[in-house]
Amino acid sequence: MGRCSGITHRGGWLAALLLLLCGSVLTAQVRTLNLREMVGSAGTIFIGSVAGVSSGSDEHGDIVTYTTFRVEQPIYGGAAGTVTVKQLGGASGGLSTRLEHMRYFRTGERVLVAFYPISSLGFTSPIGLYQAVWNVTSDGQVLGVGDTSLGGLDALLRRYHLDRNGGTVAASTFVSMIDDLLREAGKL
């Protein structure tokens, strides 16, 4: 009897430890990245519009979302035309899963986006899960350029006569800043 209660006691501690660890993982935060870090991590960067979104199971049985973009302005790592990216999460066979903090896309959106290089399983995501996605207006303005993404870029901001408050930036200016950071990183 003492032996069984010991096993139950150890099992209770193990369960409590697992709950504590799972709770820590579930409340994890995404580290804030600045534009220099985003550009340095990029596999592809472009301005484009979302032509279509679909989800299902991939060849490995993972639930995924496929997003096809019409690339209007390639900035790094790609060409004009269309590109389809595969992200973890979506809906398939009555099951639905979404990754917290992951930026998924909607048909018709026009964005400037930086994606990580494609993994060996064909996956990618926007850098920082959502941080490297900015909406672009029909008149060529990049929206939502936050002060955190502009942090540590004081010399670059002076060169382009911007301040860290960001907000709305002309797409041509933002692309020039990205080009400067790509050159700095030895990617151009």
Give me the percent of the chain exceeding a pLDDT of 90: 72
pLDDT digits (tens, 9 = 90+) for 60-77: 999 999 999 999 999 999
Task: Quote the pLDDT of residue 28.
Answer: 52
Task: Quote the pLDDT of residue 29.
Answer: 62
> How many residues would you count in the chain?
188
Task: Quote the pLDDT of residue 6.
Answer: 45
Contact between 93 and 71 under an 8 Å Cβ cutoff? The reply is no
Tell me if residue 176 falls in helix, strand or coil.
Answer: helix
Which residue reads 């209660």 in tokens? 5
User: 87 pLDDT exceeds 60?
Assistant: yes
Q: What are phi and psi of 56, to 5 degrees?
A: 170, -160
Task: Quote the pLDDT of residue 179.
Answer: 98
Strand 81-88 and strand 90-92: the pairing is unpaired
pLDDT digits (tens, 9 = 90+) for 20-30: 444 444 445 66
3-state secondary structure 42-71: CCEEEEEEEEEEEEEECCCCCEEEEEEEEE
